[in-house]
Structure 1
Amino acid sequence: MNQAQAPIRLLTVDDHPLLREGIAALVQHQDDMVVAGEACDGAEALEQFRRLRPDVVLMDLQMPGCDGIAAIAAIRAEAAQARIIVLTTYRGDAQALRALKAGASGYLLKTSLRRELLDTIRCVHAGRRRVLGEVAADIAEHAAGSALSVRETEVLRCAADGAANKQIALQLGVTEETVKVHMKNILEKLGANDRTHAVTIAVRRGIFAL
């Protein structure tokens, strides 16, 4: 690193201390980057971002309270130039799209951190986007398909909780026939055999979490 060039300052956001320690261990041997701060949830991430103004934020998605996608949106609302890399256990294309639309510039699975993290930090800091190959492939695979509507997602979430069509109709204030139509559309859009299969696909793709 050029001695006149300041290191890339990182903010690590994850509710698991071991993950934050692992990132710190990877970074400590790099001349061109340093961990400037840590946070354990989305609300603290926003506070630390305001205080530290890091160059790159490493953001988990599944956290208690304010989750990662909400935190990404909040940070980007205050600093449109903020560079954020998602670090997650889940490769679901729907979740990845939400994160990218919220303002993330990078998307990595935690299983790939050792081989991908450092290069991704440098790439995103330089103003480029970087999405892990298998996640990008999942996004591309489902890009041509129709996304579930808000109402269809609500219907499937109720089904995931074990509700029958009549119960779903009561919960959502619609007719049972309307629920059946929504469920038919859900199965077609997800390529599912039945509602249990549809729930499994929805969770795997990150449409919602159980």
Structure 2
Amino acid sequence: MTEPARTLRLVLADDHAVVVMGLEAVLSLEADLEIVATADDGRAAVDAYRRERPDLILLDLRMPDMDGVEAARHIRREFPDARILFLTSYETEDEIQQAMASGAAGYALKRSKGAELVQAIRTVAAGGTWMPERLARRAKEAADAPVLSDRQREVLSLVSKGLSNKEIAEVLGFTESGTKQHLRQIFTKLGVTGRAEAISEAMQRGILKLDP
């Protein structure tokens, strides 16, 4: 006689009530998944994990009081075997790297289909790792790609603010031809051919963040 699958106890942490309700609706269809607690900020997520000791916690990346990365660090320090899956709408390399470095074993996107999310939960809870193939491929490409120097980051930041080559040279204290040389190196490293494309690529990789 086949033994029934063990029920996985889950904690959901997200500061958007509509997201939590949607997750509850999707996960309630799975007989082996049970939501034992929810939290709407990072500190409450840590408390819920401490109280419930679930098989897995799903964390949003950005939450009030304490963000998801910091919450994951707190949980892993206290419970080294904790299984953590980030569920977020953010997908830059910088955010992915921070999330995984915090001790999480998985990174999924909120736009994932229900079946994919369920698979991610079961995989991470069972001791595996999870990341959408597209994000995993992009993260590997970013890790293998040449890193921009501090000076090149400064140049790119000024480009994103609309400064001309001459204006950038005046701000940073070198010649206009020096600006052009830096830009050529930036374009080569990012695999792009122009300013707008460089800004877009750098933002996707988490290298550049525009001021609000």
Report the TM-score range of the alignment, normalised by the length of the smaller protein.
0.7 to 0.9
SS in 1 for 2:111: helix
Give the equivalent residue in structure 2 for 1:74: 74
Give the equivalent residue in structure 1 for 2:89: 89
User: Distance in 2 between the 1:160 and 1:40 partners?
Assistant: 35
Give the equivalent residue in structure 2 for 1:20: 20
Question: In the alignment, is residue 105 of structure 1 matched against residue 138 of structure 2?
Answer: no
Q: Which has the larger radius of gyration?
A: 2
Give the equivalent residue in structure 2 for 1:56: 56
Give the equivalent residue in structure 1 for 2:119: 119
For residue 121 of structure 1, report the CA deviation from its aligned partner.
1.0
Unmatched 5+ stretches in structure 1: 170-174
User: Distance in 2 between the 1:162 and 1:70 partners?
Assistant: 34
Deviation string for 1:6-61 (max 9, x for gaps)? x2111111121111111111121222111111122323222222222221111121
Give the equivalent residue in structure 2 for 1:172: none
Q: Number of paired residues?
A: 203
Deviation string for 1:139-184 (max 9, x for gaps)? 2333321234677657655664667647975xxxxx568x958766
Give the equivalent residue in structure 2 for 1:36: 36
Q: 1:153 to 1:10 in 2, by over 3 A?
A: farther
2:72 aligned partner, one-letter code: I
**Contact residue 84 and residue 106 of structure 1 kept, 8 A:** yes
Give the equivalent residue in structure 1 for 2:198: 198
User: Distance in 2 between the 1:44 and 1:152 partners?
Assistant: 40
Unmatched 5+ stretches in structure 2: none
User: Distance in 2 between the 1:78 and 1:185 partners?
Assistant: 45
Give the equivalent residue in structure 2 for 1:143: 143
**Contact residue 159 and residue 168 of structure 1 kept, 8 A:** no
Q: 1:32 to 1:167 in 2, by over 3 A?
A: farther
1:75 aligned partner, one-letter code: I
2:114 aligned partner, one-letter code: R
- Identity within the alignment, %: 35
User: Distance in 1 between the 2:52 and 2:150 partners?
Assistant: 37
User: Distance in 2 between the 1:147 and 1:112 partners?
Assistant: 30
Alignment of 1:117-196 (within 5 A): 117-148=117-148, 156=156, 160=160, 165=168, 186-194=186-194, 196=196
User: Distance in 2 between the 1:65 and 1:152 partners?
Assistant: 34
1:125 aligned partner, one-letter code: A
User: Distance in 2 between the 1:72 and 1:38 partners?
Assistant: 15
1:137 aligned partner, one-letter code: R
User: Distance in 2 between the 1:29 and 1:2 partners?
Assistant: 20
User: Distance in 2 between the 1:73 and 1:148 partners?
Assistant: 28
1:71 aligned partner, one-letter code: A
Q: 1:15 to 1:165 in 2, by over 3 A?
A: farther
**Contact residue 61 and residue 67 of structure 1 kept, 8 A:** yes
**Contact residue 155 and residue 168 of structure 1 kept, 8 A:** no
RMSD (CA atoms): 3.2
Stretch deviating more after TM superposition (62-71 or 119-128): 62-71
